[in-house]
Amino acid sequence: MSRVKFISRDRLDVKKWDQCIDNATNGVIYAYSFYLDRISKHWDALVYGDYEYVMPLTWNRKFGIHYLYQPPFTAALGAFGTDFPPTLIQQFYNAIPDDFKLIEIDLNPGNGVPHTSGQSLLRNNFVLDLSKSYQEIQQGYKDNVKRNIKKAVQLNCTYNNDISVDQVIELSRIQNEIRKEYTEHDYYRFRKLFMKLYQEKKAKACGVFGPNKDLVASCVYLFSHNRAYYILVGNHPNSKTMGASHFLIDRFIEEHSEQGLTLDFEGSDQRNVAFFYSSFGAHPETYPAIRVNNLPFWAKLLKRFRK
């Protein structure tokens, strides 16, 4: 009988791993070895059988304590495989080494919710089917989306589907000064990932320029498993008054309608962001998350331990 075994990254059969992700019915771009190598600080793996099902363990170490964390630019990981049976997630969860005293990871929609000693919760993503015609998709737009697109057009905003990723990162930095979501090293890692995927025609950076020809709204899309991932966003504070963000997404939708793609907005649990995504007619897609804290008492007292 097959069982789940732990394999360190340096002993992993990368070819078999990536083939599993290629063929997985619940596969996502974040689970490929090249993606994890560039984005995660460290990662090892749980493997079932001969790489029939796999699960990355993205980890870090602080104060001598090992913990599992959700790397930046990875909305959901968990276990993957062809026709993944939800009951198998429990075997993977049970196989996580006890060395990891803190677990804060998000699984994918194809995983069931394992029984844990900590907390399990459901998080929200939003997805939009782009297989229909642009006119059909547009009918699902809320009135506020249509008004903002009209405003952007009236202001002579222009759309470009091939800008520099550095331009997106620069605008993202402005937003990040408030949110503190990413570090400079996170941006560095993401840029390396983007350049690899861009050369393979699996990534694009898009932007909207205002009437003064300055970039006011931008984002990066990555492509895999018939999905377009809306993954890094950079907006100038002035973009809200121009309808630029709505126009940016609308242009992408028109370009990629009737191509069998799903637009993956990557969240969100934040009410305002969720409303923004749903305004385009996107539907919620829930996925499980696990939070387990077995830290020693002194470590629990430390603020921002996981960062």
Q: Cα-atom radius of gyration of the chain, to the nearest Å?
A: 20
Q: Do 108 and 146 fall into the same domain?
A: no
Domain shared by 144 and 255, yes or no: yes
In this predicted model, what pLDDT tens digit does every residue of 291-303 receive, in sequence order?
Answer: 999 888 766 665 4
Q: What is the CATH number of the domain that holds 194?
A: 3.40.630.30
Query: So what's the pLDDT on residue 2?
Result: 65
Between 33 and 238, the more confident residue is 33
In this structure, is residue 36 part of a structural domain? yes
Q: Structure tokens of 298?
A: 């002194």
Mean pLDDT, residues 62-86 taken together: 94
In whole angstroms, how far apart are CA 95 and each of 52, 100, 217, 244?
Answer: 16, 11, 44, 47
Instruction: Return the closest-CA partner of residue 66 out of 104, 36, 35, 19.
Output: 104
- pLDDT on residue 303: 44
Summarize pLDDT for 163-177 with one digit per residue, the tens: 999 999 999 998 888
Q: Is the pTM of this model over 0.75?
A: yes
* Average pLDDT of every residue of the chain: 93
Judgement on whether residues 140 and 216 belong to the same structural domain of the protein: yes
Per-residue pLDDT, 304: 53
Same domain, 118 and 20: yes
Six-digit token string for 253: 């939708």
| Count of domains observed in the chain | 2
11 vs 85, higher pLDDT: 11
**Phi (first) and psi of residue 86, to 5 degrees:** -55, -30
- Whether residue 278 lies inside any domain: the answer is no
State the residue range of the domain holding 145. 131-260
* pLDDT band at residue 250 using 50, 70 and 90 as cut-offs: very high
Give yes or no: residues 255 and 142 share one domain: yes
Q: CATH no. for residue 119?
A: 3.40.630
Mark whether 195 and 161 lie in a shared domain.
Answer: yes
Is residue 57 one of the residues assigned to a domain? yes
Question: Beta-carbon neighbour count of residue 138 at 10 Å?
Answer: 18
Give the mean model confidence (pLDDT) for residues 273-302. Answer: 88
